[in-house]
A and B are shown apart, each in its own frame.
Chain A
Amino acid sequence: MDKNLVRNFSIIAHIDHGKSTLADRLLEFTGALTEREMQDQFLDKMDLERERGITIKAQSVRLKYKADDGIDYVLNLIDTPGHVDFSYEVSRSLSACEGAILVVDATQGVEAQTLANVYLALENNLEIIPVINKIDLPSAEPERVKKEIEEIIGLPAEDALLISAKEGIGIKELLEEIVKKVPPPSGSVDAPLKALIFDSWYDSYQGVVTLIRVIDGTIKKGMKILFMAVNKVFEVEKLGVFSPFPVEVNELSVGEVGFLITGMKDIKDCRVGDTITGTERKTETPFPGFKIMKPMVFCGLYPTVNDDFEELRDALMKLSLNDSSFVYEPETSLALGFGFRCGFLGLLHMEIIQERLEREYHLDLITTAPTVKYKITLSNGDIIWVDNPNKFPESQHIDKIEEPYIKAHIHTPEAYLGNILTLCQEKRGIQRDIKYITKDRIVVEYELPLNEIVLDFYDRLKSVSKGYASLDYEFLDYKPSDLIKLNILVNGEPVDALSIIVHKDKAYYRGRELVSKLRQLIPKQLFEVVIQAGIGNKIIARESIAPLKKNVLAKCYGGDITRKRKLLEKQKEGKKRMKQVGNVEIPQSAFLAMLKVES
């Protein structure tokens, strides 16, 4: 195929600014999908993605478009994941493109997330086409948003297209703009093969399916190829493109985007960002920017019913087939029995995995509070990494504790600045910068311990800014910190799954808060339940739950029996979903008590 007729582009947008709807409209307009095949938000494959309006896995679609100049072009739309946890994946998807459509909501304006992705696009030298969406809404303010794009992002926006993806307004103009403005791929067809991996997943029939962008040369069926970073050789079994349904092709040449199947079984061999080359003629230089993504957030996942352990193991195994950045290993808890310590890129990643386990595998899970990985220097000089509060050494053996910090960029309307500064201060943040990007919008830069972010920072940020502030962050480094382990005791017994690592200055406050939340979350039982928080041997907070006073139906005659039985069965089911710790039944929600925000 003539590379001059190819246009590779992505869509950059904040959650809810209409990326998926726009993608649907493009598919529809170019005839890739008939109306009958049209399911809203076609590119968001998983139910979960559709419901949350977030793209989790990148997709790519080949669209055919006859432009006004009479020429048939091939447009490859490369979808990108839309959340801070997946910024590396986003950067890889973007580097497979020459252009990006920047979608900004005409009612909301530029958000932190958008900005972060625009920067990624600029780093990758992408041609950016600004588009203002939702102009059909009465509250649309296209002129204000244009000004924001110019002032905040520094892009000329005078001629930004005004569209409504929902109503199909401006779609043709946008397609023309893509053909005119996005440069065709560079690269040489004669050079040795160089292809970038920008996504992959596991298919139970085909094995690992890899999405690639050919940078140089040509990849052909039957060819022997080398995955450079993992240094493994595979043979090309199948090549194809999504248009949007998979269509097999015999080769993909410079500038093209498509899928590759090699019979590879282990997704860990297929790293996003890795470069594929031929074994006979190797490229000199792999595509730059390859990184192995390491999990940053950890939690314990336990089946509510111990018998489900094997099922949970199988489900985790299956999910990890599709997700090389998700890790897990077995662990045991005195309170919860057998389970797994799992590592995630971030909180959203964690929530998504949890939800998929519950929804797709029908598992009832108990999740322990998320934690980060601490670097601890012991008094004997050894360095250990701890991702589980229960493995936290006794204080007398600790010489130094370091915790991960992130750099947070928070965009907020001026009105909420005070609240946000207070929140960041409370979360042990170090202020780095505050600047006005427009008359009434501000970017705040803070260095914050990741430990505080994983607890409730995001929810708190949303609540103190009425949802207007947005957050983007990147990992910074490890910094020394004064941390201690806070234990929770139920009827005198420490419950390991409830203990957390907190900063010393906050231990008392957290302890009291946690104990009072647990008091609300644990239902009354046959006995009195005493909940305490302690540091070492010292108790710092205590609450008790009085025993259950009444739980019986007064009347039970012939006509009441079925109703009464159903009630008991419901009550019993409720009990089954609780974890028995000693003789106390603790509901799932209690294990995430510290995440509950007081608004």
Chain B
Amino acid sequence: MLNGNYVRKSAEIKNHGQKLRGVYIHIPFCKRRCNYCGFYSNTDTSLIKGYTQALMEEFENKKRQYADFFKAKEATLFIGGGNPALLSLKDLEKILKTIYSSDLAFDEITIEANPDSLGEEKISSYKNLGINRISLGIQSFDDSVLNLLGRNHSSLQALKSLEIVKKHFDNFSVDIIGGIYGEFRNSKVKRDISHDLKFLAKFSPPHISFYLLSIEEGSFFFNKFVIDEAKQAEEYNIFCEFARDKGYTHYEVSNFAKKGYECKHNKIYWEGGEFIGLGPSAVSFLKENKGIKNGWGIRLKNVSDIKEYIKNVNLTEMEYLDRQSAFCEAVFLPLRTSEGLNLSMLKLKFPEETEKIYGVLENLKKAGFVEQKKGQWIIPEKHFIIGNEIVAKILKGAGL
């Protein structure tokens, strides 16, 4: 059995303190698909063996192809899904051993898990595998909500798993889905968040991801559930207030953390950092590797179908960002965070475009839709919920 020592300590790395880079592993297996989920997943767990093999093959390929990325640097690892807890400890160990064999020094290693697949043994083993953060897919403490969402666990399982996780891990997160208001199959749906808030207050997880229910194409809810956006907005405010009251920082549209517990891996996405994604439908983003001529970065997306993936792990779509797309991302991603957008940094890369958006920013500032704090432009928390509208206005201002 592996133990924590396998993971390189960041102190061993020479260029300590540089920008983090992320590795994401997608585990596309679920016992059942939730009603709101539009992502690719597979309920046929007999494919796990072949999948594990393929994943390791992909890792070796990527390591060769993007060697620069895998040089000794500080990094994060995130094992997401699907439900990664469906992997046996043996398979997980195999995968991790391979990943750890690179020169990257993993600082934060997260695994997502659903409450119904977690026992005490598994959780403590995770620790031995070097995992230091657990993201628990609670979604709700209310059985009627879990039922409506098509989740595979009960509120009791949620509570139990949370207790065990809390016992073994200092750093963990829970996912909560809120804003369950609207119409589903011609009847009104109204699920108050207050019940969940009581439990959150009791367990006081260091990190919460709070998502308003959204209806995704390809999900069961699609074309069946009509969301009441006004009620969602109300509940979002209620949650923000709760989180503030309990000492959380609202550091991204849907993410709340106690001091020092922000998710480092996810921050890489919002800061425009580089990451490698492994597994079906996983996405990578690379900027400065050998063989990448494009100055604005490339994004790779693996084939979604798991059988296709096992057959050929190199089935990848490639998107070359152009200047306009890169600018768009450089604006909207940081504006999702409480850190906000640094105009001087933006101007270094996009001088003309930045020049053009000053006017809109000033106007939006006058109306209170953006604020300026020490050179950072931010969307204030109360307007996170209309962030798209604000960003679209800014982008329009750039005349692109």
Contact = CB atoms under 8 A, between A and B. Distances in A.
Interface in B255-295: 266, 269-270, 275, 277, 281-285
A550 B329 contact: no
B298 to A, nearest CB: 11
Interface string A568-584: 11011011100000010
Contact of B285 (A552, A558, A576): A558
B181 to A, nearest CB: 11
A556 B388 contact: no
Size category, B interface: 35 or more
Contact of A526 (B281, B282, B284, B369): B369
B281 A559 contact: yes
A562 interface: yes
Given A564-B332, A568-B395, A554 B282 contact: no
B24 A561 contact: no
Size range of the chain A interface in the assembly: 20 to 34
Interface string B47-79: 000000000000000000000000000000000
Contact of B389 (A526, A557, A558, A561): A526
A527 interface: yes
Contacts of A46: none
A565 interface: yes
A565 B253 CA distance: 16
A576 B275 CA distance: 33
A122 interface: no
A555 interface: yes
A561 B369 contact: no
A550 B283 contact: no
B277 A565 contact: no
B389 A551 contact: yes
Contacts of B367: 526-527, 583
Contacts of A527: 367
A549 B230 contact: yes
A549 B233 contact: yes
A548 interface: yes
Contacts of B229: 549-550
B350 interface: no
B253 A568 contact: no
B386 interface: yes
A137 interface: no
Contacts of B390: 526
Contacts of B214: 553-555
A567 B277 CA distance: 22
B328 A565 contact: yes
Interface in A326-367: none
B134 to A, nearest CB: 17
A556 B386 contact: no
B206 interface: no
A526 B368 CA distance: 10
B254 A567 contact: no
B340 interface: no
B356 interface: no
B395 A554 contact: no
Given A526-B390, A551-B386, A572-B392, A558 B275 contact: yes
B350 to A, nearest CB: 15
A548 B24 contact: no
Contact of A561 (B232, B281, B329, B400): B329
Interface centre among A527, A551, A554 (most CB of B within 10 A): A554
Which among A525, A548, A561, A574 has the greatest number of chain B C-beta atoms within 10 A?
A: A561
B388 A553 contact: yes
Interface in B193-220: 211-214
A569 B324 CA distance: 10
Contacts of A568: 328, 332, 388, 391-392, 395
B285 A554 contact: no
A557 B392 CA distance: 19
Contacts of A552: 253, 384-388
A557 B269 contact: yes
Interface in A60-103: none
Contacts of A565: 325, 328-329, 332
B31 interface: no
B333 interface: yes
B386 A548 contact: yes
Contacts of A567: 388
Given A552-B387, A571-B388, A558 B328 contact: no
B243 to A, nearest CB: 15
B42 to A, nearest CB: 16
A325 to B, nearest CB: 38
Nearest to B400: A572
A555 B211 contact: yes
Contacts of A549: 229-230, 232-233, 385-386
Contacts of B332: 564-565, 568
Contacts of B275: 558
Interface in B341-384: 363, 367, 369, 384
Contacts of A583: 363, 367
A558 B269 contact: yes
A572 to B, nearest CB: 4
Contact of A550 (B233, B285, B392): B233
A525 to B, nearest CB: 8
B307 interface: no
A555 B392 contact: no
B336 interface: yes
A268 to B, nearest CB: 39
B122 interface: no
A250 B340 CA distance: 78
Contact of B254 (A551, A555, A561, A574): A555
A513 to B, nearest CB: 27
Interface in B164-218: 211-214
B165 to A, nearest CB: 21
Given A549-B229, A558-B282, A568-B392, 15 more contacts: A526-B369, A527-B367, A549-B386, A550-B230, A553-B388, A554-B212, A556-B336, A561-B329, A564-B332, A565-B329, A567-B388, A568-B388, A571-B388, A571-B389, A572-B396
7 contacts: A549-B229, A550-B212, A550-B236, A551-B387, A554-B212, A559-B283, A572-B396
The 4 nearest A-B residue pairs measured at CB: A571-B392, A550-B229, A549-B233, A554-B211
